[in-house]
Structure 1
Amino acid sequence: MMRATNIAICLFLASSPAYSSSSIYGSTFDYTKATPTSQYFAGKTEEQIQRFCKNDAVATMDVSACAQHDFERVAQTLEKKVSAIEQIMADGDKQLRTRGEPEALPYFRRGQENWKYYRDNECYADVYEAGQASLRFVEFWDCMARMTRNRLDELTKPINE
């Protein structure tokens, strides 16, 4: 009898991961394939979106769209800053090249790519660690926005030592 109970428990535990992954919140997620919030908030001004997102009585899908929208905004700001820095570095690299010195821009670009890889993986780890939850993607977008803001701060604020 005890052996039959143990086998039943083992079978249940073995089948549990398969069951939990079938939930809409248990599937893997690729944020690069997410529908942009410009479609979700089509026809709305930035002011209307911000007012809507500050409302406490929004549904989970709306909260997620608001968090994604926040990330998209800060990511766009970061992209503009990175482009400006790259232009400055490209100009500086011309002078470095004439003196036979190593160029800075390839290293900056590689650093930015590695930073994105780090950010993405940190946020994926956070969201998957939380397990199945209806707000897990809100947490993901919040993480992405927070880390992107931090990177923007790193690139815009002078270093005080």
Structure 2
Amino acid sequence: MQKNRLYGILAIGLATSAPLYPASAAEKWTADHNQCNNQTNTIDITSCINARTAIWDQRLNQAYKALTVMLAGEPSTKSRLAPLQTAQRAWLKYRDANCAYYNAQEGTIRSVEVSDCMQRMTQDRAIELQGEGPQ
């Protein structure tokens, strides 16, 4: 039981802290931390993290679209568009498979770990793509 409680505390600590709204393209995104700390049970923690993941997924889509438009619009960068698309498809498969790993064991904490994995990986990829896109 102590191990599960520790995982829960760690998962909450890795969760998010930014406000629940999509960022503008001009805003420099930074990682969220501790947004879900005030949640008291597994269901609420998972719901909170999933809400943060939805925000980061919107940001990821926004950053990806801006980057693809930028790359497609400039002859000097057009050759980077196809590798980006291939990488993004592969990254999505990797993220989903990697996070599914955390659900392969027993215990209610697994739902928190899966949600936390999805949020962190989506957040990191959104920030990465935003950094590559138009500034």
Q: How many residues align?
A: 101
* Residues in 2 aligned to 1:107 and 1:157: alpha-carbon distance in whole angstroms: 17
Question: Contact 1:68–1:138 at 8 Å: present in 2 too?
Answer: no
1:9 is matched with none
Q: Give deviations 1:46-86, integer Å, cap 9, x for gaps.
A: 49xxxx94424x33211111111111111111110000001
Q: Could you say which residue in structure 2 is the equivalent of 1:84?
A: 66
Match in the other structure for 1:114:
90
Identity of matched residues, % = 28
Aligned to 2:112: 138
Alignment of 1:56-67 (within 5 A): 56=39, 58-67=40-49
- For the aligned residue pairs, the C-alpha RMSD in angstroms reads 2.7
| 2:100 counterpart (114, 121, 124) | 124
Q: Distance in 2 between matches of 1:126 and 1:59?
A: 19
Change in 2 beyond 3 A, CA 1:116/1:135: same
Contact 2:56/2:119 (CA < 8 Å) preserved in 1? Answer: yes
Amino acid of the structure 2 residue aligned with 1:119: R
More helix by share: 1
Structure 2 Cα separation of the partners of residues 55 and 81 of structure 1: 29
Q: Which has the higher contact order (CA 8 A, sep 6+)?
A: 2
Whether the 8 Å CA contact 1:67–1:141 is kept in 2: the answer is yes
Any unmatched runs of 5+ in structure 1? 1-45
1:55 aligned residue:
38
The match for 1:75 is 57
Structure 2, unpaired ranges of 5+? 1-19, 22-34
**1:11-22 counterparts in 2 under 5 A?**
none
Matches of 2:130 and 2:73 in 1, distance apart? 19
TM-score normalised by the chain length of structure 2:
0.64
Match of 1:103 among 49, 62, 79: 79
